[in-house]
Amino acid sequence: MKGFTSIILACCAIGALTVGATLRMAETTPEASNIPVIATEEYGKRLLAQTPELLGPDVADPKMRYTESRLSCGSCHLGTGAEPGTLSLPETIHHYPRFSARVGLSTTIEDRVNECMQRSMNGRPLPKNSAEMLAMAAYIRSLGYHDAAAGANHRKAKEPPAFKTPNRAADLKAGKKIIEEKCASCHQADGSGLLAAALPIHGYVFPPLWGPDSFNTGAGMHRVLTSARFIKARMPLGKPDLTNDEAFDAAGYINSQPRPEMAHLDLDYPDRKTKPIDNGYGPFADPFPLEQHRFGPFAPIESFYKMKPISTSTR
Ligand code: HEC
Ligand code: HEC
């Protein structure tokens, strides 16, 4: 009898959630109103793939406007993180909980998603118990169980050799030329990307590289070595063929352009000795100018910290 009651209760709860969620969807994206908002892996995958439609600045319900950027998570985590390679997410769940040097505390997968929400997506954190956070965590967890081995196996095979940092500062003029020649066909020469059809709520077919809809100054992608590593491995999309020098210069140019500013960045990395050397903002525990941290050359900073090789991880 007890079991029977709880089954009925559970059904009612799911029913209520579905109805409530369907109503909410109906307000926000009429064409998707048949898809109920419950914290499923499928909903999580949609959140990563179509972030602006569900959490972006054009969503009808102001309470659901969590990101100011119109990027999707999948703009950087290719194939919604399932595609093996740089910034893939299959192994992610096994990294948490972990100590984050940036935050100075132990962090969970939910904390990490919220870091990308506030930085890469230039938004605000999702409540930890929201359907959206639970769904994204469920999706990332599911990748860990189904695709982790595949991710590890294919990681190297599908990508060009890993980025190696040239021993010089990034050449921003050369970077501008590379963007015009190899990236502008998709991202446009002014880096502003190409919106899907005429409706901003659908986000971008080709995401912007800088400007108001891009990631903010606190994002991992704002670090020139993280950016260069991604670009060398993944861009131009489908046929990555840049040399180390080209990837470095393109990343330097992208990160020299205007983008949203994140507040209170001086509070990051409470232990400043753990700050990545290519961090795009100070203060640092060394005497090198911010300009050199942003664009190199990195070898002198590297030897100052006696780091070998240069760390490009935010972990
Ligand atoms: C502008 C590019 C960009 C966007 C957009 C983006 N991320 Fe990230 N994400 C990164 C970078 C860079 C890292 C750091 C990778 C590293 O440390 O090597 C990262 C790391 C993560 C991690 C931790 C990975 C790990 O293995 O520890 C998770 C989880 C994550 N992102 C989820 C998301 C979600 C969910 C969204 C959308 C709400 C999102 N990201 C949007 C660039 C992005
Ligand atoms: C064939 C079209 C195409 C070309 C050419 C291309 N990209 Fe991309 N790029 C994309 C798409 C599409 C995405 C988002 C991933 C997705 O939606 O699957 C992306 C994502 C990115 C991102 C992360 C998201 C963001 O907007 O910040 C960066 C950085 C990037 N590209 C840089 C470059 C650079 C640099 C070049 C030139 C060397 C380049 N891309 C060439 C299509 C392209």
- pLDDT, tens digit (0-9, with 9 covering 90-100), for 269-305: 999 999 999 999 999 999 999 999 999 999 999 999 9
- Same domain (yes/no): 177, 219: yes
Q: Atom 30 in ligand 1: which residue has the minimum CA distance?
A: 113
- Residue 9 domain-assigned (yes or no): no
- Residue 284 domain-assigned (yes or no): yes
What is the reported pLDDT for 306?
A: 82
Which of 43-57, 100-114, 144-158, 288-302 shows the lowest per-residue confidence on average (mean pLDDT)? 144-158
What is the reported pLDDT for 280?
A: 92
DSSP class of residue 273?
A: G
**pLDDT single digits (tens) 23-63:** 334 344 444 554 446 899 999 999 999 999 999 999 999 99
- Same domain (yes/no): 183, 138: no
Statement: residue 173 has pLDDT above 80: yes
- Residue 15 domain-assigned (yes or no): no
Q: Tally the domains of the chain.
A: 2
In this structure, are residues 123 and 51 in contact, taking their beta carbons and an 8 Å threshold?
no
- Residue 18 domain-assigned (yes or no): no
Calculate the average pLDDT of the chain: 87
- CA–centroid distance, 205 to ligand 2, in Å, is 10
Q: Atom 1 in ligand 2: which residue has the minimum CA distance?
A: 237
**pLDDT single digits (tens) 53-97:** 999 999 999 999 999 999 999 999 999 999 989 999 999 999 999
Residue from 51, 75, 120 to probe ligand 1 pocket by mutation (most atoms less than 8 Å from CB): 120
Statement: residue 1 has pLDDT above 60: no
- Same domain (yes/no): 112, 210: no
What is the reported pLDDT for 149?
A: 59
Question: What DSSP element (H or E) covers 28?
Answer: helix 2-28
Report the C-alpha gap between 76 and 230 in whole angstroms.
Answer: 8
Q: Which domain holds residue 70?
A: 38-154
Q: Of 104, 138, 154, which residue sits at a domain end?
A: 154
Which of 113-127, 239-253, 299-313 shows the lowest per-residue confidence on average (mean pLDDT)? 299-313
What is the reported pLDDT for 154?
A: 53
- Residue 28 domain-assigned (yes or no): no
Identify which ligand lies nearest to the alpha carbon of 140: 1
What is the reported pLDDT for 310?
A: 53
The verdict on the CB of residue 251 being under 6 Å from ligand 1 is no
The verdict on the CB of residue 45 being under 6 Å from ligand 1 is no
Among 92, 98, 97, residue whose Cα is nearest residue 151: 92
Statement: residue 309 has pLDDT above 60: no
What is the reported pLDDT for 21?
A: 39
Q: Atom 14 in ligand 2: which residue has the minimum CA distance?
A: 75
CATH number at residue 59: 1.10.760.10
Q: Under DSSP, is residue 147 helix (H, G, I), strand (E, B) or coil?
A: coil
- Same domain (yes/no): 208, 278: yes
Mean pLDDT for the stretch of residues 173-181: 98
Among 312, 85, 75, 281, residue whose Cα is nearest residue 195: 75
In this structure, are residues 120 and 221 in contact, taking their beta carbons and an 8 Å threshold?
yes
- Same domain (yes/no): 123, 207: no
- Same domain (yes/no): 128, 177: no
- CA–centroid distance, 140 to ligand 1, in Å, is 11
